[in-house]
Amino acid sequence: MMSEWMIEKPLDLAAEWYVTPCPKARRVLVVANRNKTKCYSKYGRFKFMTNTALPGGSPFTMKNTREVYCVLDCFYDETSRTMYVLDLLAWNNQPMTDCETEFRYFWLQSQFAENTELGIISKRNCVRFIVLPKVCCSPEELNK
């Protein structure tokens, strides 16, 4: 996944590429580990720490989560306290960086469907998470 401007159209754009509409918000790397969730800028600078219902992201989550970690690429809207999830880098100690985009997106959606608390703000989850949609780059899909 590359978050860059596309200068030239690839020949396989319609068949092999996806587009994700992103909100106007601050890009952050979310790292949940050791019962804390830390957020970093795209340049690696620490921004803030919070509790989340991500694996390893809160002292309120299940026991023995000290060694569990989760890493997400997100956009953060401060006014609504919402994390818009762009991509999944690791989930519950399982690195996902070598997986195909379709699998990472499927895994992310299934984990968020199982843990509905990620979609609401609570004591255990101080920011709301929303998975951004991925759309095929075919002309029909882009027109929708």
Measured in degrees and rounded to the nearest 5, phi and psi for residue 118 equal: -65, -25
User: First-to-last CA distance in the chain?
Assistant: 22
pLDDT confidence of residue 75: 96
5, two tokens = 């401007």
| pLDDT > 90: percent of the chain | 55
The model's pTM: 0.86
Please give the domain boundaries of the chain with CATH numbers for all domains.
22-143 (3.30.470.30)
Reported as a single tens digit per residue, the pLDDT across 5-14 is: 778 888 998 8
Q: Residue 20, class by beta-carbon neighbours within 10 Å (0-12 exposed, 13-18 middle, 19+ buried)? A: middle
Instruction: State how far the alpha carbon of 71 is from the alpha carbons of 34, 45, 80, 108, in Å.
Output: 13, 15, 21, 11
Instruction: State how far the alpha carbon of 121 is from the alpha carbons of 50, 53, 125, 143, in Å.
Output: 12, 10, 5, 33
Reported as a single tens digit per residue, the pLDDT across 28-70 is: 999 999 889 999 998 899 999 999 999 988 877 655 556 789 9
Query: What's the length of the chain?
Result: 144
